[in-house]
Amino acid sequence: MSYSASEMMTVAAARLLKNEDVCFVGIGAPSAACNLARLTHAPEITLIYESGTIATRPDVLPLSIGDGELCDTALTTVPVPEMFRYWLQGGRITLGFLGGAQIDRFANLNTTVVGPYDEPKVRLPGGGGAPEIAAHCGEILIIMALSRRGFVDHLDFITSMGHGEGGDHRKRLGLKTRGPTRVITDMCILEPDPDTKELTVVSIHPGITRDQITEACGWPIRFADEVANTPAPTATELETLRELHERTRKAHSKAA
């Protein structure tokens, strides 16, 4: 069964989620991966969105955190201050799932500006709740397509803290959570090195070569001593994901 690079990325990300996870979900690719996990192997996963919806079970993917689908299918909805102060800062969310415009070798994310802050080449949407999610969730998963434009040697602005300058930088700043533990791309999966925290390729998707990964990354990317082969998507995973996207397309087309 054929599949796209984007589908491979979403499936690989979804497989990392577990029934017992309490997951703070970002819009877009993180939302697709989390809901694919919920519809396949992790039906009891607790999904939380920034608008305050807890244990939501959307039938279609939301356009934004304010999408009515999230509130309609949630167990409960709490005020945003309560979401951040009690749930997030209180240490009750085990996993945050984020995307970004740019990422560096230590998994720091930029969603603010490209170029000088005062005179940027590109003004990005901003961080929203991502900086707090990156700091306070038990661990962070990041999903982004691998490209030189997105995986850069130097960030002009750090919006969400990954592992900072590497090593024990998070600990030195007083952050007690694990930070990014995996970065899932359309070519491979990366994990921070246990000591340096530099992102390292640990699994390569079917049909992708090391040379392709090296060429697509904006820094000299490292490979683990033992690199796994990511299993291809199953028919069930692809059918479920495609049905989800088709329901979403129809629902949003009707709404428009």
Q: Which residues are catalytic?
A: 50
Q: Which of 90, 99, 97, 184 is nearest to 133 (CA)?
A: 97
CA dist., res. 131 & res. 254, Å (int) = 34
Q: Determine the Cα angle at 99 with ends 205 and 29, to 5°.
A: 65
Query: Which residues lie below 8 Å from residue 157, measured CB to CB, with a gap of 6+?
Result: 110, 112, 113, 117
Print burial letters for 182-212: b (CB count within 10 Å at least 16), e (below 16). Answer: bbbbbbbbbbbbeeebbbbbbbbbeebeeee
**What pairing do the DSSP bridges indicate for beta strands 188-192 and 180-184?**
antiparallel
Give the Cα separation of 22 and 182 in Å (integer). 17
Angle separating helix axes 5-14 and 235-255, nearest 10 degrees: 110
